[in-house]
Structure 1
Amino acid sequence: MDLLKELTEANGAPGFEKPIRQIMKREIEKTGAKTVSDRLGSIFGEKCGSENGPKILLAGHMDEVAFMVSEITKDGYLRFVPLGGWWDQVLLAQRVKVMTKDKEFTGVIGSKPPHILQAEELKKVYPMREMFIDIGANDKDQVKQWGIKVGDPIIPICPFELLPDNDTILAKALDNRAGCYLALEVLKQIREINHSNTVYCGATVQEEVGLRGAATAPYIMEPDLSIAVDVGIAQDGPSDNSNKAKLGSGPLITFLDSSLIPHISLRDLVIEIAEKNSIPYQVDIMLGGGTDAGRFHLFKKGVPTIVIGVAARYIHSHVSMISKKDLENSAKLLTELIKELDANRFNQLFN
């Protein structure tokens, strides 16, 4: 878990993914794969198989939901705007780090105290636009002396922890450092197997603000097939959600989201491989949300695409949870899929 800990505790707001990219580059180079990247910062390891099979893109995304400093008040408080999708209700009293060029500053998200709110205000979700970040500064001049500027990224604080069941992982940014981890793990595993494909394992940038890296990354390799590796929504809280995704029940295969209906023959092949190899799996049908797959499948004349990942609790907040067992089974499923997809099996997808 050391690598996943490092990935989640590193800071990578959309547009500020450099610390994550450095970890990805280091780990890709360890596998002996060729490193390729686009001009926005997406990075992949290229691993060629033994024959002229299809080109497979397997991608997580490096960025996490975060914030940006939008204003410094005369009293030294910071106003901020979201980078990615946040629900205002999860923000108050949470700790954050303001990232300058040379230093980090810890702050807390504050608001008007509840003791002085009117009764009707107490019944409403407090809006983000009225929140601020308190970094303990006396005034605007002190903030300036510390080097904090409008445009600096702000990152949630949550240390990595493996919980007592030795399976549940608690951390920030599992959306989508889990996908980054899986891309690296698959790249390591395919060194040890025979396959006929050219595989690109890595991660994009700026997924949380509009799938932007996913629009440029395919031009690096012009893939024949793509797999977005991301997290899905676990719905295993204290209610009757027995048919919904849950932690520990296997990889999550997306059948529908707001940006993608997967290539049906590819979807069926993934399920066939999971069942043949006794890999537990779950199905995700979600009308809201989307992943990089929404862009990948529209590249040029079309790319057969699917989303495979893990169920996660509490994403798009300061903290999230996934299952270590789900990570292991997802890596196994992705590796088996790469083994199966030679040129003949790929061509059968279109019959």
Structure 2
Amino acid sequence: MENDFQWELWNRLTQAPGAPGFEGSVRAIMREYIGAYTNEFVYDNLGSMLGVMRGDENGPKIMVAGHMDEVGFMVTRISDQGFISFQTLGGWWGQVLLAQRVQIITEKGAIEGVISSIPPHVLSEDQRNRPMDIRNMFIDIGVDSRAEAEQAGVRPGQQIVPVCPLQVMANPNRLMAKAWDNRYGCSLAVELAKELHERPGHPNVVYVGATVQEELSGMRGAKTAAAAIEPDLFLALDASPATDIPGVRDEGGKLGGGLLMRIYDPLYMMPLGLRELLISTCEQENIPYQYYVAKGSTDANVVQNHGKGVPSAVIGIPSRYIHSHASIIDRNDYEAAKRLLFSIVRKLDRATFASILPR
């Protein structure tokens, strides 16, 4: 079972609003926690933030980062009747949206709303047989006019986030919440900073924190953060789709099966030397892992191409139903990823780093 520190961290991170471009609340939490372990931070101008944990100054520079943003929405228009039109931020499938609760984050606070749905009684046969286009959906906040919505604080350009509290499920190893993609990575980054503070002496300099705007095309914060840090090696911490549910081809990613060893996605291949290091570490320390071939992408895709090239890997976990309101992870996968991350950071001295480069 998790300790009080870990549960509070998970709860605060998953419940914070942080759509792409609106990561301020998540950044404040990350700054608070990591700031307990270092007073040195590196920022880019988009909002990415990494604390600096100084071990051996002659060792490699290791960048370890989750991403702060979650898939969400943005207010685009208020109708005369007070209904809210919105733009998706990140990859959404329309069929997971209808009748779901959301919050509009205003200067006056969070406003509760629900995404429109039409009862089956009044749907035509044609409407019943085809999905609703996201462009035809709206958010109902329970008002009757634009003036009433504006008086409540709603304006175009504000972020909208899903609503789903952190819950322990029937199997107590399973945890449901919004935004495990990617508050998992944010949480693990905090835990790494805590580990390196409490057990100093790592053979490198570690930049640990989180990027912004990963869910938008281009993984924008990872690109600018890498330019600010100039890392020698990058470890992305990210959650990926579990494929252990009915109707999905099982390609790795079973809850409870261990961390995800992402060996390939359309824009990324794990470097051979780094892959061998990660796998041998898992096998030597009995850390459960699963090979994973992904259809999506992560911050590793852009950081690997920075400068002369940055060897990059993803230390991930599977999560059911990501890019929806409610996602599920397994504590054991989280612990496996944490064990590998802690171990590999302590192994990466200058000689080990040199050994993984293609020569």
Class of the TM-score when normalised by the shorter of the 2 chains = over 0.9
For the residues of structure 1 that align with 2:334 and 2:37, how far apart are their CA atoms? 19
Letter in 1 for 2:245: G
Q: Contact 1:33–1:47 at 8 Å: present in 2 too?
A: no
For the residues of structure 2 that align with 1:18 and 1:235, how far apart are their CA atoms? 32
Q: For 1:31-110, what aligned pairs fall within 5 Å after superposition?
A: 31-32=37-38, 34-110=40-116
**1:105: how far off?**
0.8
Letter in 2 for 1:101: E
Q: For 1:121-132, what aligned pairs fall within 5 Å after superposition?
A: 121-132=127-138
1:209 to 216, 219, 229: 216
User: Which residue is equivalent to 1:280?
Assistant: 288
2:300 to 280, 293, 303: 293
**1:243: how far off?**
5.8
1:255 maps to 2:282: no
Letter in 1 for 2:87: V
User: Which residue is equivalent to 1:7?
Assistant: 13
For the residues of structure 2 that align with 1:268 and 1:181, how far apart are their CA atoms? 26
1:22 to 10, 23, 28: 28
Q: For 1:86-165, what aligned pairs fall within 5 Å after superposition?
A: 86-165=92-171
How many residues of Structure 1 are paired with residues of Structure 2 in the alignment?
A: 350
- DSSP-derived class of the 1:345 partner: helix
- DSSP-derived class of the 2:208 partner: strand
Q: Contact 2:38–2:52 at 8 Å: present in 1 too?
A: no
For the residues of structure 2 that align with 1:328 and 1:106, how far apart are their CA atoms? 34
Superposed CA RMSD in Å reads 1.4
1:244 to 252, 255, 265: 252
For the residues of structure 1 that align with 2:229 and 2:79, how far apart are their CA atoms? 47
Q: Contact 1:259–1:293 at 8 Å: present in 2 too?
A: no
For the residues of structure 2 that align with 1:5 and 1:325, how far apart are their CA atoms? 18
Q: Please, which runs of 5 or more residues in structure 2 have no aligned partner?
A: 1-6
For the residues of structure 1 that align with 2:85 and 2:224, how far apart are their CA atoms? 32
- DSSP-derived class of the 2:35 partner: helix
For the residues of structure 2 that align with 1:177 and 1:212, how far apart are their CA atoms? 18
1:328 to 324, 328, 335: 335
- DSSP-derived class of the 2:191 partner: helix
User: Which residue is equivalent to 1:197?
Assistant: 204
Q: CA-to-partner distance for each residue in 1:213-242, whole Å, 9 max, x for gaps?
A: 011001222100001110111111246966
User: Which residue is equivalent to 1:314?
Assistant: 321
User: Which residue is equivalent to 2:3?
Assistant: none
1:174 maps to 2:186: no
Q: Contact 1:232–1:284 at 8 Å: present in 2 too?
A: no
Q: Structure 1's 123 and 331: CA in aligned 2 closer, same or farther, altered over 3 A? A: same
Q: Contact 1:46–1:199 at 8 Å: present in 2 too?
A: yes
1:226 maps to 2:226: no
Letter in 2 for 1:346: F
Q: Contact 1:9–1:159 at 8 Å: present in 2 too?
A: yes
**1:33: how far off?**
5.2
**1:113: how far off?**
3.5
Letter in 1 for 2:278: V
Identical-pair percentage: 44
Q: Contact 1:36–1:44 at 8 Å: present in 2 too?
A: yes
Q: CA-to-partner distance for each residue in 1:92-130, whole Å, 9 max, x for gaps?
A: 000100111122110110134332222122111111111
For the residues of structure 1 that align with 2:216 and 2:328, how far apart are their CA atoms? 22
Per mean C-alpha deviation after superposition, the further-off stretch among 239-248 and 196-205 is 239-248
